[in-house]
Amino acid sequence: PSSLSYSILIFQDGGWPLPGERIPDIAALSMGFSVEEDLPWPGLGVGDLFNRPRATVLVTVKGVDKLTLPEKGVSYPIENAVPFSLDSVANAIHSVFSEETPVILQLAPSEERVYMVGKANSVFEDLSVTLRQLRNRLFQDNSILSSLPLNSLSRNNEVDLLFLSELQVLQDITSLLSRHKHLAKDRSPDLYSLELAGLEEIGKRYGEDSQQFKDASQILADSLQKFADEMYNLYSGNAVVEVVAVKAFNSALSRKTRSILQSTQSESDNPYNLAYEYNYDYAVIFNIILWMMIALALAVIVVSYNLWNMDPGYDSIIYRMTNQKIRMD
């Protein structure tokens, strides 16, 4: 089984199993956004409705079932560990706070996959995202190689360097963000989604019973704890830090894409002329339109009644002025 760890008071300690496909909904609800389907999971508390987290940080660690951090947090076992994406949460932030300055960063260093929205493009413009950039960053003077105890790991092995480069990314994110502390105090929430696969590669290279894998697991746990503490302090204690540890996903993540040359939906896609899928906003839209129509109808009735029973000689200033002018003439 995989595990999911949190460090904030809105989550209840109980060890309830969490469906893996609902992890994005957990992130959305903790930030104050609504989801389409109800989540009957007791681990999520109500929290302060007027003081939602300013940032959500989710780190996915592949290759290990459980990762114990130095400081005690709240953890839950994950049922059905399927691949997930926080694209829906990022879209919600971008749509609601489009005129603000949200920082949205989704990064998978081993796959050279990066997605930045809002102020993230300027904050993390110097962040290493390609494998070549990551390798070069490790051998600079202020890299983690000068301060991190490698133990059984080697700086001459490509697999070890990939693992260490992911730790370097964690350090660089907090370092670059600390130069823009004002963004952590604005009203728009920020989102950070990181996917680390270096530990999984070390397990494949040396074996999970090897000393290298044990040292790498301990180094990663310490680095994640330091990263969580620094992010927590940057946001003045108002941040959610989540760590998802998964041995292997049950299936591969497929991302839906659409070509710019894609044609409109043809009749063959809906041969039975079925109605469109029910939208959960239907009830809201229906009530808005219904009561607006009732209010307008009542307003028309009241205005019409008063006009019908109006005495032109006493109720209208126009007729009064006209009568005085006639008398003077």
- The one-digit pLDDT tens for each residue of the chain (329 residues) are 445 554 444 688 777 888 888 999 988 888 888 888 888 888 887 666 667 788 999 999 998 888 877 666 788 888 888 888 899 898 888 888 877 778 889 999 888 888 888 788 888 988 998 889 998 999 988 899 888 888 899 988 999 999 999 999 999 999 999 998 888 888 889 999 999 999 999 999 999 999 999 999 999 999 999 999 999 899 988 888 889 999 888 765 554 443 333 333 444 455 555 555 656 677 888 899 999 999 999 999 999 998 888 776 666 666 655 555 555 55
Phi first, then psi, for residue 70 (nearest 5°) are: -55, -40
Predicted TM-score (pTM) of the model is 0.72
d(Cα 252, Cα 236) in Å, to the nearest integer? 37
* Residue whose C-alpha is closest to residue 134's, from 117, 112, 115: 112
pLDDT value, residue 141: 84
- Helix (H) / strand (E) element for 192: namely strand 190-196
pLDDT value, residue 278: 57
Please tell me whether residue 62 adopts helix, strand or coil conformation. strand
Contact call for residues 57 and 240 (beta carbons, < 8 A) = yes
Q: Rounded to the nearest 5 degrees, what angle is found at the Cα of 73, between the Cα atoms of 68 and 74?
A: 105
Percent helix, strand, coil in the chain, to 5, is 45, 15, 40
pLDDT value, residue 309: 84
pLDDT value, residue 311: 74
Strand order in the sheet with 190-196: 18-19, 74-79, 2-6, 239-246, 55-62, 190-196, 103-108, 113-118
pLDDT value, residue 306: 87
d(Cα 103, Cα 44) in Å, to the nearest integer? 24
pLDDT value, residue 4: 54
Please report, for residues 16, 22, 107, 277, 297, the alpha-carbon distance to residue 245 in angstroms, rounded to integers and kept in the order given. Answer: 16, 15, 16, 35, 58
Contact call for residues 10 and 46 (beta carbons, < 8 A) = yes
pLDDT value, residue 11: 80
d(Cα 174, Cα 283) in Å, to the nearest integer? 43
pLDDT value, residue 183: 83
Question: Which two three-digit tokens encode residue 44?
Answer: 């999520």
Contact call for residues 236 and 184 (beta carbons, < 8 A) = yes
d(Cα 91, Cα 48) in Å, to the nearest integer? 23
* Residue whose C-alpha is closest to residue 162's, from 193, 202, 125, 119: 202
